[in-house]
Amino acid sequence: MSTDQTTAPLPAPHGVAAADLAREAEQLLSSLIRFNTVNPPGNEAPAQEYLHAHLSAAGFECELLGAEPGRPNLLARLKGKAPGPTLCYLGHVDTVLANATEWQHDPWSGEIIDGYLWGRGAIDMKSQVAAEIAAGAALARSGWRPASGELLIAAVVDEETGGELGAQWITREHPDKSRCDLLINEGGGAFFDYSGRRCYGVCCAEKGVFRFVVTTEGRAAHASLPALGDNALLKMAPVLERFAARQPGYTLCDESRAFLAALGEDPADPASAIQRLRLQSPVLASVFEPMFGITFSPTRIRASEKINVIPSHAELKVDCRVPPGSGEEDVLAAIADVLGELGTTAPGAGTAAVGDRGYGIEFTERIAGNRSPAASGLMAAIATWVDEHDPGAHAVPVVLPGFTDSRHYRDAFPECVAYGFFPQRHQSLLDASPLIHGADERIDVRDLAFAAQFFCDIAVGTLG
């Protein structure tokens, strides 16, 4: 749903007619949605070739680079008149699956209905790719060139399955071509209201992943004789109960403290802030609370391979997300905080005790959180733009509970300042969040125009 807020027509940015810019962004997004780039398998080549032709015709130097045939990454460069910083607009063109039977309208249509442009990728994130490319192409056709530095547009593949063939590959294999000083990617921008403050989140940090397996041990037996066995699966019951009861205590990072301060809350008292937020909007509280510490989400459980065998071993897989700056020792402390001791596992013949806790822990993934400084020239430029285009609104730093391709750029280029920002003035964070990877994904076309203007303005403001 759109808000009832009315807005004046967008001004013409830098000689680019606002109506033409909006129309170009709509046409690009509609076309991109019609390319089925569900990953796997991806098959992004036709979409990338379409974007390559569009940017080349506007004056960009373009090339397609891929780790596999049919899955190329697009790098498009608009060089400036003098040396200077590289500003990169990053986006991915692959999407998750869409089940057409669950949608009101065809997820591959790219149609505009009731002021919304519908289709898989309309928010995540073909809309941002379309707005970035519309802005860059319009500026290039107008004759604009950076006074110093260059504008780099990177449209990559394979983000939805981790970026191994996309951002990770291109920053590792072609660092000189993908290197940038400033980067704008997905992860923030939809507005939300809090206690009378209208805010636009700017993603400055992303949580890491420390997934682990909880194991319990017992003694196998025939399922028809339960008293002869020691069922390891039943020993998971208290583990699940404790995971269901609560999350670990709050452990704020610099960015989550800055977020609370920007909302006018006390960073030393996140529990009170969450309580007030929950009273105002339970959904918003659910979106923001994961910013404040480590989270556990049990997702898969496995025990006996056969229905007639009492399992001697059971394992529970847990998706664990950690703030930037937290690591394995912090996760172990959080596990002990939530699970505590469940009692010693009684081993049967040939089995080994898990230990006094009654369960074992094994990490399967360790990916640290990533971040960029919450205070920078780029952040100041974003905040100024927000205030100018939505007077009285605030740009606030946020931590993304998941992660994006920004992590690959931060890893490859530690000095790069990378933010997630795609401004949406009409379709709120509460409206947009349930549509990401869900049915009926769509974007308010006014927000598509709003974002395209942002990308025009930031390029000119940053590069001259």
Q: The CATH number of the domain where 39 resides is what? A: 3.40.630.10
Examine the domain organization and report whether 319 and 359 are in the same domain.
yes
CA nearest neighbour of 210 among 319, 293, 315: 319
Could you report the per-residue pLDDT of 369-391, keeping only the tens digit for each?
Answer: 999 999 999 999 999 999 999 99
CA nearest neighbour of 411 among 151, 206, 159, 126: 206
- The β-bridge relationship of strands 221-222 and 370-371 is unpaired
Examine the domain organization and report whether 182 and 216 are in the same domain.
no
Examine the domain organization and report whether 60 and 114 are in the same domain.
yes
Examine the domain organization and report whether 435 and 325 are in the same domain.
no
Distance CA 65, CA 140 (A): 23
Q: Does residue 196 contact residue 210 with C-beta atoms inside 8 Å?
A: no
If you average pLDDT over residues 216-237, what whole number do you get?
96
Examine the domain organization and report whether 357 and 437 are in the same domain.
no
For 350-394, the DSSP string reads T-----TTSSEEEE---B--EE--SSSHHHHHHHHHHHHHSTT-E
| Structure-token pair, residue 33 | 């949605």
Distance CA 16, CA 420 (A): 25
Examine the domain organization and report whether 32 and 65 are in the same domain.
yes
Choose one of 339, 363, 387: the last residue of a domain.
363
Q: Does residue 182 contact residue 378 with C-beta atoms inside 8 Å?
A: yes
The whole-number pLDDT of residue 11 equals: 46
The whole-number pLDDT of residue 8 equals: 40
Q: Does residue 200 contact residue 209 with C-beta atoms inside 8 Å?
A: no
If you average pLDDT over residues 433-459, what whole number do you get?
97
Distance CA 71, CA 158 (A): 8
Distance CA 187, CA 190 (A): 9
The whole-number pLDDT of residue 342 equals: 78
If you average pLDDT over residues 230-241, what whole number do you get?
96
Q: Does residue 416 contact residue 182 with C-beta atoms inside 8 Å?
A: yes
Examine the domain organization and report whether 30 and 129 are in the same domain.
yes
- For residue 449, give the 3-state DSSP assignment: helix
If you average pLDDT over residues 243-266, what whole number do you get?
95
Distance CA 403, CA 207 (A): 6
With residues binned 3-state (H G I as helix, E B as strand, rest as coil), the percentages for the chain, rounded to 5, are 35, 25, 40
Asked whether residue 8 is domain-assigned, the answer is: no
Residue 15 clears pLDDT 80, i.e. is over it: no
Q: Which residues contact 320 (CB under 8 A, 6 or more apart)?
A: 209, 210, 211, 212, 294, 295, 296, 297, 331
Examine the domain organization and report whether 31 and 172 are in the same domain.
yes
Residue 4 clears pLDDT 50, i.e. is over it: no
Distance CA 295, CA 435 (A): 23
- The β-bridge relationship of strands 208-209 and 309-310 is unpaired
The whole-number pLDDT of residue 13 equals: 53
Domain of residue 316, CATH code: 3.30.70.360
Distance CA 452, CA 21 (A): 7
Sign (positive or negative) of CA dihedral 427, 430, 431, 435: positive
Give the rounded percent of residues in the chain with a pLDDT score beyond 70.
Answer: 94
Examine the domain organization and report whether 135 and 230 are in the same domain.
no
Residue 9 clears pLDDT 50, i.e. is over it: no
Asked whether residue 9 is domain-assigned, the answer is: no
Residue 342, CA atoms < 13 Å, CB-side half-sphere: 26
Residue 73 clears pLDDT 80, i.e. is over it: yes
Residue 67, CA atoms < 13 Å, CB-side half-sphere: 16
The whole-number pLDDT of residue 357 equals: 73
Examine the domain organization and report whether 235 and 322 are in the same domain.
yes
Examine the domain organization and report whether 70 and 180 are in the same domain.
yes
Asked whether residue 259 is domain-assigned, the answer is: no
Residue 26 clears pLDDT 60, i.e. is over it: yes
Would you give the distance in Å from CA 194 to the centre of its chain?
A: 22
| Structure-token pair, residue 102 | 């669950």
Domain extent at residue 431: 18-187+404-463
Residue 12 clears pLDDT 60, i.e. is over it: no
Choose one of 330, 363, 396: the last residue of a domain.
363
The whole-number pLDDT of residue 356 equals: 59
| Structure-token pair, residue 446 | 């006014």
Examine the domain organization and report whether 418 and 452 are in the same domain.
yes
Distance CA 73, CA 352 (A): 50
Burial class (CB in 10 A: 0-12, 13-18, 19+), 69: exposed
Residue 85 clears pLDDT 70, i.e. is over it: yes
Q: Does residue 386 contact residue 423 with C-beta atoms inside 8 Å?
A: yes
Asked whether residue 130 is domain-assigned, the answer is: yes
Choose one of 338, 363, 388: the last residue of a domain.
363
Q: Does residue 338 contact residue 247 with C-beta atoms inside 8 Å?
A: yes
If you average pLDDT over residues 11-33, what whole number do you get?
88
Q: What is the pTM of this model?
A: 0.91
- For residue 457, give the 3-state DSSP assignment: helix
Asked whether residue 375 is domain-assigned, the answer is: no
| Structure-token pair, residue 154 | 């990177």
Burial class (CB in 10 A: 0-12, 13-18, 19+), 251: middle
Asked whether residue 1 is domain-assigned, the answer is: no
Distance CA 66, CA 167 (A): 10
Higher pLDDT pick, 14 / 41: 41
Residue 212 clears pLDDT 70, i.e. is over it: yes
The whole-number pLDDT of residue 10 equals: 41
Q: What is the mean pLDDT of the chain?
A: 93
Q: Please work out, in degrees rounded to the nearest 5, the angle formed at the alpha carbon of residue 300 by the alpha carbons of 299 and 304.
A: 160
Count how many domains the chain has. Answer: 2
The whole-number pLDDT of residue 6 equals: 37
Could you report the per-residue pLDDT of 265-315, keeping only the tens digit for each?
Answer: 999 999 999 999 899 889 889 999 999 999 999 999 999 999 999 999 999
If you average pLDDT over residues 153-175, what whole number do you get?
97
Asked whether residue 37 is domain-assigned, the answer is: yes
Asked whether residue 355 is domain-assigned, the answer is: yes
| Structure-token pair, residue 360 | 């074992």
Cis peptide before 379 (omega within 30 of 0): no
Residue 346 clears pLDDT 90, i.e. is over it: no
Could you report the per-residue pLDDT of 275-289, keeping only the tens digit for each?
Answer: 998 998 898 899 999
